[in-house]
């Protein structure tokens, strides 16, 4: 919010756009839901959003890839935290030993995040931070791209009914792709995969006014433009969801 406000203040006549991946997608969607139609972003794209953090945390603890990801992320988080540990000294319930012993993302959130923000438990922190609670309030065009086989941002966490009812949001789902692991596209596998290209096409479509009228037709037209390059793969988009073959 501070960054968007700063950019809007510096360039008041510019159209601003944002793209979020993974937890960044969750943060971006929460922001858009909180701002509603007053958001200073013209449009946005969210990829592999873990809409329900408690549900996705369960997935992290179950599967091989989720466990591998969580362990790796916890290690990186500890490294990033270490130089700043002194800043947290004195916080109620803060325990440096718990931080050092954190081997999963949940462990780290228990030791640091939920304590820092005053939540009574990790589950309470995850629930309050889940963008499934805010997606219904999004008031600008938002393209959501998910993979059904994502081991982290699991398909069960996607709030399809809330998305269906929100004319500003377009959901595109692929059968495969994992967690930000899409590989198909003209520039792939060494360049941008199709969702990155599609995100830019979606943004350009909104920027240039393609399909502008009602909010729903704006999002639908932009999504159709974004997914057009992949029609050879059998993709088709509508205002609720696009089902994409395995890639």
Catalytic residues: 22, 150, 179
Closest CA to 211 of 167, 177, 241: 167
Exposed e or buried b for every residue in 119-151, given b needs 16+ CB within 10 A? beebbebbeebbbbbbbebbbbbbbbbbbeebb
Q: Based on C-alpha coordinates, what's the Rg of the chain?
A: 19
Asked if 99 contacts 85 with a C-beta cutoff of 8 angstroms, the reply is yes
Count of Cβ atoms closer than 10 Å to residue 66 Cβ: 22
Number of neighbouring beta carbons within 10 Å of residue 188: 15
Nearest to 157 by CA among 75, 38, 37, 46: 46
- Rounded to 10 degrees, the C-alpha dihedral 153/154/160/162 comes to -50
> How is 183-212 classified by DSSP, letter by letter?
--STTTTTS--HHHHHHHHHHHHHHTTTT-
- Write out the H or E segment, with its range, that includes residue 32: helix 23-35
């Amino acid at each position: 919010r501070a960054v968007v406000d700063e950019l809007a203040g510096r360039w008041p006549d510019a159209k601003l756009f944002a793209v979020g991946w993974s937890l960044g997608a969750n943060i971006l969607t929460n922001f858009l839901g909180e701002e509603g139609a007053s958001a200073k972003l013209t449009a946005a794209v969210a990829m592999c959003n873990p809409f329900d953090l408690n549900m996705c945390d369960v997935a992290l603890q179950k599967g091989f890839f989720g466990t591998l990801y969580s362990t790796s992320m916890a290690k990186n988080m500890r490294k990033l935290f270490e130089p700043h540990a002194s800043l947290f000294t004195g916080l109620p319930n803060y325990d440096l030993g718990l931080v050092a012993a954190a081997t999963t993302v949940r462990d780290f959130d228990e030791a640091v995040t939920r304590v820092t923000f005053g939540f009574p438990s990790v589950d309470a922190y995850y629930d309050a931070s889940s963008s499934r609670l805010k997606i219904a309030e999004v008031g600008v065009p938002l393209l959501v791209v998910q993979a059904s086989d994502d081991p982290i941002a699991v398909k069960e966490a996607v709030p399809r009914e809330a998305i269906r009812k929100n004319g500003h949001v377009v959901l595109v789902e692929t059968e495969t792709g994992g967690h930000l692991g899409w590989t198909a596209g003209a520039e792939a596998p060494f360049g941008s995969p199709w969702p990155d290209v599609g995100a830019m096409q979606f943004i350009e479509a909104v920027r240039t006014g393609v399909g502008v009228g009602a909010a729903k037709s704006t999002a639908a037209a932009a999504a159709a433009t974004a997914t057009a390059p992949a029609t050879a793969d059998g993709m088709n988009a509508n205002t609720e969801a696009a089902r994409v073959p395995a890639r």
